[in-house]
Amino acid sequence: MWKRNYSRIRFFVCLTGLAGILSACASMGCYEDNSVRLQVGFYQQSSSSLVAIDSVSIWGVGSDSLLYNNKSLQTFELDLNPLSNETRYVIRVQDGLFRMQDTLTIRHQNQPWYESSDCGCVLHSSIDTCFTSETLFESVTIQERQVQSNDIQHILLNI
Amino acid sequence: MLTIQAQEQATKETVQTGWFNGMTLGLDVSGPASLLINGSGTGAVKMDVNVRNKYFPTIELGRAKWDKTNDLAHRFQTVGNFAKIGLNLPISIKGDRAENAFLAGIHYGYSRFSYDIDNILLDNYWGSTALRLQDETARVGWLELSLGVRVRAFGPIGLGWTFQYKRSLHQKNGSHSVPSYIPGYGQNTKPSAGIQAFIYIPLFP
């Protein structure tokens, strides 16, 4: 049974308001890890395996803060500089009074990726070249140039 | 022997519904209402053709504006056009030209649009960096299932609403981002749902 015009108009006005409110849908939340870092490992060529090194400290060239302070590391993560195409880190190993350090230089192209309004932006990068000053490490191997995931080793520092 | 009333009723019931049984223009009123309430909304015009009171092919053209800042202070802005094409089928109708109808429909929607994302803060070891993504271009096609009602309210003018369930079929994102909002579709969630309210104006005959 169709209602009178007044009831129809009231019903229509309510739905119009509801439509306006419903158009702002609730947030879905972010369920993904939205930070991507360069995954680095210490690699011993003689045993063809990753190796742990004690008393490692790492900091960025141009930064005052230590990323790793006197830690035993086999693999570790580094942030690439979002404002530059070159990122440099000092890696120091302290063994008693014996201290050696090397500088790792990574040249890369930054590709910010905005995933969603809930997850925000992550920095994807593409590695062009990678080298050290060869005082501590023999060479660097780039295993994966695309820094878009934390699940794989991107570079290996060969000792 | 039929009474005069019954004869008139019988005459009405035998009014032939030809292949072309009218055309109706629909004007979206919920989109402008959303624009007033939220600062973001859609304006759309749709046309449907009444084919023998059985089929209602429809086309809708619209333009949407979205300007939202989320909890992370990211500002998403877009203005874009969209189009939908599809078919509505009557579940229930009343009137020679289906002036009052309960309709179910299936439509394909498409939008190609550009957008900006501002105030993106990236925090890592090297500090806090503000980023801005400008003139990102995306295109999306989606499937839409709808249920709607329209009723004659003032003379020939009708009012109605449509509930839509949408799911994107194909999507090409911007070169550095996934769009948060798609004109004509709504927030970029899978699936998406919405309600539109319309004023209907019969055009022919």
Which among A18, A78, A112 has the least Cβ separation from residue B176?
A: A112
User: If you average pLDDT over residues B42-57, what whole number do you get?
Assistant: 94
Q: What is the least distance, in Å, from the CA of A46 to any CA of chain B? A: 33
Chains A–B, number of C-beta pairs less than 8 Å apart: 125
Pairing of strands B181-182, B157-172: unpaired
Between A17 and B30, where is the model more confident? B30
Rounded to 5 degrees, what angle do the CA atoms B149, B152, B154 make? 140
The domains found in chain B, sorted by start residue, are 22-204 (2.40.160)
User: If you average pLDDT over residues B177-189, what whole number do you get?
Assistant: 93
Average pLDDT along chain B: 89
Q: Which range has the worst mean pLDDT, B7-21, B122-136, B141-155?
A: B7-21
User: If you average pLDDT over residues B112-129, what whole number do you get?
Assistant: 91
Which among B40, B76, B161 has the least Cβ separation from residue A15?
A: B161
Look at residue A27 in the predicted model and tell me its pLDDT. 46
Residue B171 pairs in a beta bridge with B140
User: If you average pLDDT over residues B18-26, what whole number do you get?
Assistant: 88
Of A35, A126, A87, A104, which is closest to residue B126 (Cα–Cα)?
Answer: A87
Q: What is the least distance, in Å, from the CA of B74 to any CA of chain A? A: 7
Interface test with A, best of B71, B122, B165 (most A CBs within 10 A): B122
User: If you average pLDDT over residues B160-173, what whole number do you get?
Assistant: 95
The answer on pLDDT for B56 being more than 50 is: yes
Look at residue A2 in the predicted model and tell me its pLDDT. 47
Look at residue B122 in the predicted model and tell me its pLDDT. 86
Which among A22, A63, A79 has the least Cβ separation from residue B195?
A: A22
Q: What is the least distance, in Å, from the CA of B127 to any CA of chain A? A: 9
B139 — pLDDT class (breaks 50, 70, 90): very high
Record: contact B125-A79, CB cut-off 8 A: yes
**Which amino acid, A44?**
Q
Residues of chain A with pLDDT under 50: 1-4, 22-27
Record: contact B131-A25, CB cut-off 8 A: no
Look at residue A24 in the predicted model and tell me its pLDDT. 45
Within 10 angstroms of residue B203's Cβ, the number of other Cβ atoms is 12
- Read out DSSP for chain A? -PPPHHHHHHHHHHHHHHHHHHTSPPP----S-----EEEEEEETTTTEE--EEEEEEEETT--SEEEEEEEESEEEEPPPTT-SEEEEEEEEEETTEEEEEEEEEEEEEEEEEEETTTEEEEEEEEEEEEE-SSS-SEEEES-SEE--SSS--EEEE-
Is ipTM over 0.85?
no
Look at residue A49 in the predicted model and tell me its pLDDT. 95
